[in-house]
Chain A
Amino acid sequence: MDPLNSSAAASAGSAGSGPVPARAGLQPALKRWLTSEGYGSIIVLAVLILVVFPVALDGFRLNLMGKYLTYAFVAVGLVMAWGYGGVLSLGQGVFFGLGGYCMAMFLKLEASDPISTKIQSTPGIPDFMDWNQLTALPFWWKPFHSLPFALAAVLVVPCALAFVVGFAMFKRRVGGVYFAIITQAVALILSVLIIGQQGYTGGVNGITDLRTLLGWDIRGDGAKLILYFVNAVLLLVAILCCRHIQRSKLGTLLLAMRDKEDRVRFSGYDVAMFKVFAFCVAAVLAAIGGAMFTLQVGFMSPSFVGIVPSIEMVIYAAVGGRMSLVGAVYGAVLVNLGKTWFSESFPNLWLFLMAALFIGVVMAFPNGLAGLYDSHVKPWLARRGARSAS
């Protein structure tokens, strides 16, 4: 069994086969594609988030689920960077925030047209700029009037930052623990900058009260449903792309680099650029998650950019299984579900549970839920399959 492609493969493949059809050649190929290629787990996930959740959950809970799925983007990115590339970034909040802020700036400019802001001293600029006595839109805000620019910024700005930081670090062979701490320093600096420059960024309040996207009201129930599906589809596409990278030569190289960096270097490959690539992939994915978050929740705040949220995002990937893309999604959803449910019922107990989760994930199940699935559930299913076959 290919250890690279863990998770719900076996059940999807064998359970869905049913009575043996006459097309003998197609069915084993299908089964192989589902199980060993690992796409079975993706199909199960797709069914879950595209069909089961929208049917089973009401509007409010579905919107919450959409929020959790934006965190899943970050977790998927971390699987690529950390699980496959060996690059642990404790500052993913930076990229999540950058993507979110780019989208928020566009939406805020749209909501600050001169007519709705006529009560301000300077109509036509966002409300927080008015409170801080700015009298004109800063030049670097102006391009965000256009949606294509904002979308491009969501993708390009975090990637550029990741490239700069990664290049500087990896070219000097800084890795592992040191790199993790430096990403924390970057997260800290960005959050201090954003909070301090409240005239330009909204400060500690963030950018709030976002209403329409090109005239379409994003706050309505119908809009939230559509945004949920957009989010879910984007997530699945991202997972498929990452799976494709994993199965390619690039993916094998990343794995090799994670385990034995020097050998890969001696084989002639530029290890630094590969690590930068993995880091940039994680950054872009986190940024997409941030932008989708802004659209679904309606505001963006610097509380996502700092150290604490960045470390929490790592735990989503760790709980799901740092090697498993699909597991990362389950991890993000489960941890956030737990957070919401526990903080409703036992607010004081919640921190102890989070502590136990962090410690447990590291000590007891280092490969997360996916690892547990591989080591316990899959062999049990295989035994059951073998017993029914014989």
Chain B
Amino acid sequence: MSASDILNVTLMQGFAGLSLFSVLLLMGLGLAVIFGQMGVINMAHGEFMTIGAYTIYMFSQIADNYWHGFAPAYFPLAICAAFVLAFAAGWLAEWALIRHLYRRPLDTLLATWGLSLGMQQVFRSVFGPKEVSPTLPDWLMGSWSPKPGLDIPINGLFVMSLAVLMTGGVLLALYRSRWGLRVRATVANRQMANAAGIDTRKTDRLTFAIGCGMAGVAGAAFTAIGSTGPTSGSLYIVDSFLVVTFGGAASLLGTVASAFGIAQMQSISEFFMTGSSARVVTLLTIVAVLMLRPQGLFASKVRRA
């Protein structure tokens, strides 16, 4: 193997690590916003992602069957639609279910688990039990070759840019917008926030819905790299939780750091040993670190209520 080959491989492997990092980050971001800012565990997170995936499928069916000219352009539109649909579903879920359970975080766990079961069955009844495959636009499913021998998958680049956009957007919103101000106030001291005139209930609902919308966008992005079926959510939920827990649930920076750490550990070990061993090594490391530092990497110093 020549030196340029080794360089190519190193670059591609590095890209693989970054690509996994952005996938984990997209998965965990919505969950971190909800859990970190509201203390609510959303076990139905994977199903909100699946809403996004099915949205892409529906749009691709429309493009295929009714409106061929639409085909190359439908994807960005479909992603926005995924956000809107997941946002709406999250809004509804919060209003019907979550708002009654804020003082009982363990119970939200059970209730959202039930929600996830129900949503899975809805998907199965509406779309059928088999997997479906949205026809993705050609510009997305190729690779970019800056030099021969170096192939960078475009869908990886796409997911990465989406992750950067979303993280940037969330940080900007949290620290520069009025919504962010309300959220931070509610998290710091709910009673004072109420006394100061902030409608904490409305803020909670908006935050939950935004977190779900982000999950929808992640699910939409993942149609480029994974499968779409009623039980697809369960493939992603576990990793999302590990990312958020490992990072320290109350911190967005923690989510970013933990996604990066887990991704690098996983892809570097995968290169040197088989996939299963790499997964075991990564999981054991995560558990070991959690045993030593259970609050996660970046725990926020908030007084326990």
Q: Tell me which of B100, B108, B125, B241 contacts A185 (CB under 8 A).
A: B241
Given A189-B287, A196-B276, A351-B120, A178 contacting B295 (CB threshold 8 A): yes
**Which parts of B85-129 form the interface with A (CB within 8 Å)?**
97, 100-101, 104-111, 113-118, 120-121, 124-125
Q: Tell me which of B39, B276, B280 contacts A177 (CB under 8 A).
A: B39
The answer for the CA separation of A178 and B245 in the assembled complex, in Å, is: 8
Q: Which residues of A contact B286 (CB under 8 A)?
A: 185
The answer for the CA separation of A194 and B151 in the assembled complex, in Å, is: 36
A182 touches B290 (CB 8 A): yes
A192 touches B41 (CB 8 A): no
B164 on the interface (CB 8 Å rule)?
no
A188 touches B238 (CB 8 A): yes
Q: Which residues of B contact A253 (CB under 8 A)?
A: none
B50 to chain A, nearest CB (A): 14
Q: Which residues of A contact B242 (CB under 8 A)?
A: 185, 188
B276 touches A362 (CB 8 A): no
B294 on the interface (CB 8 Å rule)?
yes
Q: Which residues of B contact A362 (CB under 8 A)?
A: 101, 104, 107-108, 110-111, 114
B245 touches A185 (CB 8 A): yes
Q: Which residues of A contact B121 (CB under 8 A)?
A: 348, 351-352, 355
B107 to chain A, nearest CB (A): 4
- Give a binary string over A75-90; 1 marks a CB under 8 Å from any B CB, 0 the rest: 0000000000000101
**Which parts of A156-186 form the interface with B (CB within 8 Å)?**
165, 168-169, 172, 174, 176-182, 184-186
Q: Which residues of A contact B190 (CB under 8 A)?
A: none
Q: Which residues of B contact A354 (CB under 8 A)?
A: 114, 117
The answer for the CA separation of A172 and B293 in the assembled complex, in Å, is: 8
Count, A-B residue pairs, CB within 8 A: 116
A125 on the interface (CB 8 Å rule)?
no
B110 touches A315 (CB 8 A): yes
A307 on the interface (CB 8 Å rule)?
yes
The answer for the CA separation of A192 and B110 in the assembled complex, in Å, is: 23
B240 to chain A, nearest CB (A): 11
Identify the interface centre among B97, B101, B110, B116: most chain A CB within 10 Å of its CB. Answer: B110
A93 to chain B, nearest CB (A): 14
The answer for the CA separation of A142 and B269 in the assembled complex, in Å, is: 32
- Give a binary string over A309-327; 1 marks a CB under 8 Å from any B CB, 0 the rest: 0010011001000000000
Number of A residues whose C-beta is below 8 Å from B?
41
A363 on the interface (CB 8 Å rule)?
yes
**Which parts of B220-266 form the interface with A (CB within 8 Å)?**
234, 238, 241-242, 245, 249
Majority-rule SS of B interface residues: helix
- Give a binary string over B276-305; 1 marks a CB under 8 Å from any A CB, 0 the rest: 110110011011001110110000000000
Given A168-B291, A185-B241, A352 contacting B118 (CB threshold 8 A): yes
The answer for the CA separation of A65 and B117 in the assembled complex, in Å, is: 25
Q: Tell me which of B97, B101, B287, B294 contacts A178 (CB under 8 A).
A: B294
A184 touches B118 (CB 8 A): no
A156 to chain B, nearest CB (A): 20
Q: Which residues of A contact B234 (CB under 8 A)?
A: 308
A128 on the interface (CB 8 Å rule)?
no
A366 on the interface (CB 8 Å rule)?
yes
Given A188-B238, A363-B97, A182 contacting B294 (CB threshold 8 A): yes
The answer for the CA separation of A188 and B105 in the assembled complex, in Å, is: 21
B111 touches A358 (CB 8 A): yes
The answer for the CA separation of A2 and B242 in the assembled complex, in Å, is: 42
B113 touches A192 (CB 8 A): no
B114 touches A177 (CB 8 A): no
A143 to chain B, nearest CB (A): 24
A174-B295, A177-B105, A185-B283 given; name 15 further pairs at CB < 8 Å: A168-B292, A169-B291, A174-B294, A178-B245, A181-B245, A186-B287, A189-B283, A308-B234, A311-B43, A351-B118, A351-B120, A355-B115, A356-B114, A362-B101, A366-B104
- Could you show 11 A-B contacts with beta carbons less than 8 Å apart? A90-B109, A174-B294, A177-B106, A182-B287, A185-B283, A192-B280, A358-B114, A358-B115, A358-B117, A362-B111, A366-B107
Binding site for A on B (CB under 8 A): 39, 41, 43, 97, 100-101, 104-111, 113-118, 120-121, 124-125, 234, 238, 241-242, 245, 249, 276-277, 279-280, 283-284, 286-287, 290-292, 294-295
Would you list the 5 A-B pairs with minimal beta carbon distance, nearest first? A358-B114, A355-B118, A351-B121, A174-B294, A168-B291
